[in-house]
């Protein structure tokens, strides 16, 4: 397995190191296509990137809850708009329509967009504590494209926490780019923070390459950089 591993000493440096790597990774492409994730892990990175003001890129959405109205505050597209895309003035956005009346047509639309546009230049991704990437839950095949994914119970729990949501009607399904789409990315940056990710990071990088751990596809991913803090790396050394 061949990757570039960068250990970040603290949160602020995690953000600034990642922002530097991000800008470097897209510096040789005009209007690159870039996947960006949501989540707690990326907050410092987005703060640093807002200050750096990188060259324009085309934003490609990684994943989105299915079935929410276009004004729902829980939409990932709104989160990304607020945290990074609007502040940077990125107006070219390939985003999922959460409320699409025919989900099959929506997955086809996004798949076709990817096929027509060519491979993504840079995929920035996180990892869920069960090894999911985007919303590709354990069991997702490595050659799958855009699809609707039923969310694992622990993923719903972790996602409810973003919104301090305690109701029962939280989305149980989501749109996601597939691992097959992510494998086509020319470059990938995996961001991992915190002790609670240490065991799954170890399994993903050093365990079997298996659909039970979706992030283990990275073991064969060319152009991979991992930025992690010391807690996340505590089982890898
Ligand atoms: C979430 C998102 C992913 C994200 C991952 C890690 O459920 N679907 O896109 O990368 O899980 O999130 P966090 O950084 O909050 O741990």
Among 11, 15, 35, 37, which is best to mutate for testing ligand 1, by the most ligand atoms less than 8 A from CB? Answer: 37
CA distance 154 to 226: 24
Q: What is the pLDDT of residue 50?
A: 98
**What is the number of the ligand 1 atom nearest to the C-alpha of 174?**
8
Distance 154 CA to ligand 1 centre (A): 12
Q: Is 130 a catalytic residue?
A: yes
List the residue whose alpha carbon is closest to atom 15 of ligand 1.
39
**What is the number of the ligand 1 atom nearest to the C-alpha of 135?**
8
> Is ligand 1 within 6 A of the CB of residue 134?
yes
Q: What is the pLDDT of residue 120?
A: 98
Q: What is the pLDDT of residue 199?
A: 98
What's the pTM? 0.97
Alpha carbon separation from 192 to 94, 103, 104, 167 (Å, rounded): 25, 31, 32, 29
174 three-state secondary structure: strand
> Is ligand 1 within 6 A of the CB of residue 214?
no
Question: Is there a contact between 6 and 225 (Cβ–Cβ < 8 Å)?
Answer: yes
Q: What is the pLDDT of residue 213?
A: 98
Q: What is the pLDDT of residue 20?
A: 98
Q: Is 83 a catalytic residue?
A: no
Q: What is the pLDDT of residue 121?
A: 98
CA distance 167 to 159: 12
Q: Is 104 a catalytic residue?
A: no
Q: Which residues, 6+ apart, have CB-to-CB distance to 51 below 8 Å?
A: 19
Residues in the chain with pLDDT values less than 70? 237
Q: What is the pLDDT of residue 166?
A: 86
Q: What is the pLDDT of residue 29?
A: 97
Distance 152 CA to ligand 1 centre (A): 13
Residue 220: phi and psi, rounded to 5, are -115, 20
> What is the b/e burial string over 31-46, where b = at least 16 CB atoms within 10 angstroms of the residue's CB?
ebbbbbbbbebbebbb
Q: What is the pLDDT of residue 167?
A: 85
Active-site choice (20, 72, 130, 212)? 130
Strands of 41-131, DSSP E: 58-61, 63-65, 93-94, 122-125
Alpha carbon separation from 18 to 7, 43, 113, 172 (Å, rounded): 11, 11, 28, 31
Active-site choice (44, 63, 106, 181)? 63
Question: Is there a contact between 134 and 170 (Cβ–Cβ < 8 Å)?
Answer: no
What is the crossing angle of helices 43-52 and 11-26, to 10°? 60
Q: What is the pLDDT of residue 47?
A: 97
């Amino acid at each position: 397995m061949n990757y570039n591993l960068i250990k970040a000493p603290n949160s602020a440096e995690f953000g600034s190191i990642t922002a530097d790597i991000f800008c470097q990774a897209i510096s040789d492409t005009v209007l690159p296509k870039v996947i960006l994730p949501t989540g707690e892990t990326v907050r410092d990175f987005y703060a640093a990137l807002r200050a750096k003001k990188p060259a324009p890129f085309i934003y490609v959405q990684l994943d989105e809850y299915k079935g929410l109205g276009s004004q729902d505050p829980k939409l990932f597209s709104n989160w990304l708009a607020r945290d990074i895309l609007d502040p940077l003035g990125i107006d070219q956005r390939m985003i999922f329509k959460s409320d699409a009346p025919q989900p099959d047509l929506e997955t086809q639309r996004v798949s076709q967009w990817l096929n027509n546009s060519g491979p993504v230049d840079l995929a920035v991704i996180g990892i869920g504590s069960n090894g999911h990437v985007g919303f590709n839950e354990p069991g997702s095949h490595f050659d799958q494209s855009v699809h609707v994914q039923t969310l694992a119970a622990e993923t719903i729990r972790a996602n409810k926490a973003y919104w301090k949501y305690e109701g029962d009607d939280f989305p149980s399904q989501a749109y996601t780019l597939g691992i097959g789409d992510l494998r086509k990315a020319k470059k990938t940056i995996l961001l991992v923070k915190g002790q609670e990710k240490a065991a799954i990071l170890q399994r993903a990088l050093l365990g079997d390459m298996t659909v039970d751990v979706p992030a283990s596809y990275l073991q064969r991913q060319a152009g991979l950089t991992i930025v992690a803090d010391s807690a996340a790396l505590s089982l890898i050394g």
